[in-house]
Amino acid sequence: MAESRTLGDQYPMTNDLCVLYHHPELNENAQRYAPWCQLVSAPAAPTVSQPALFFDHRGMWLCMPGYSTAFQPSDADIQRRVRSRAPTELVRACGMNLDGKRVLDACAGFGGDGLLLAQMGAHVRLIERHRLVWIMLEERARHLSNAETLCVDASQLLRDGGEQEDPWDVILLDPMFPPTNKRALPNRGLQHLRELTESSQTDHDDILPLLARSKQHCRGRIVLKRRLKDSLLERPDFQIKAKSVRFDVYKGLA
């Protein structure tokens, strides 16, 4: 994204000020996040007792308690899916021809799905309500001219600001899946998202109002990502199934 774009919260968030460690050579670059972070110069990612960020020449990293190495989402999977000859189930669910379409990724997390859609030609707004995760997302998305990020609760955005927006062509809903009794852990990125957002995860009762608001502000498709065996929240217009997840697709009413 161009450096001149305005960063900030659409609505006040309750997350505390986080610590952003940064390489000494990148002090000027780190200043763009100064309104939301305590900036600390450090030559390498530190061991931390609280979640924090580290910024170096390779980008933004997440430092988590109990881990000796910092974490950074990989763009390799996005590039692999972009180059795939067969469209992914996500792209099929969103409507295949995404060039120029307006897409709202309402539960973006680290942005893997939304950034894929941007690289497929869509104009994507990625919403993430946890500020530390949003900063990771913003740094990852800022080089794409057709992607923007906001630190805001999606339900509040659709409720308070939806009337000011043209209807979306696609709204993607990918709330955090509830934990299961399986012993196998999700990948490290999903583990960290769960650890960071466990006090504010969207539950079944929250998803239904979000789905209803999404229908009111979308003229195309609302795509709800669910585990393959999860129960239906509402009967979809159709489904597209992958190996372990499915996409319940609803028609917008706008």
> Using one digit for the tens of pLDDT, what is the confidence trace for 95-137?
989 999 999 999 999 999 999 999 999 999 999 999 999 999 9
Q: Tell whether domain 76-251 is in CATH 3.40.50.150.
A: yes
Residue 37: both structure tokens together: 């972070």
Residue 45: both structure tokens together: 């990612």
Judged by average pLDDT, the poorest of 29-43, 70-84, 209-223, 238-252 is 70-84
Matching residue, tokens 């309750």: 14
Instruction: Round to whole Å and give the CA distance between 140 and 146.
Output: 13
Judged by average pLDDT, the poorest of 76-80, 170-174, 222-226 is 76-80
Name residue 223's beta-bridge partners: 172, 249
Name residue 40's beta-bridge partners: 21
pLDDT of 4 over the 60 cut: no
Q: 137: closest CA among 169, 166, 113?
A: 113
Hey, where are the domains in the chain? 76-251
Strands, E assignment, 106-237: 123-127, 147-150, 168-173, 218-227
Q: What would the pLDDT profile of 41-96 be if each residue is shown by its tens digit?
A: 999 999 999 999 999 999 999 999 999 999 999 889 899 988 887 889 999 999 98
What's residue 1's pLDDT?
40
pLDDT of 13 over the 70 cut: no
- Classify residue 56 as exposed, middle or buried by CB count within 10 Å of its CB (0-12, 13-18, 19+): buried
- Cβ–Cβ under 8 Å, residues 185 and 192: no
| Helix, strand, or coil (residue 71) | strand
Mean pLDDT on 199-214? 77
pLDDT of 3 over the 50 cut: no
Name residue 221's beta-bridge partners: 170, 251
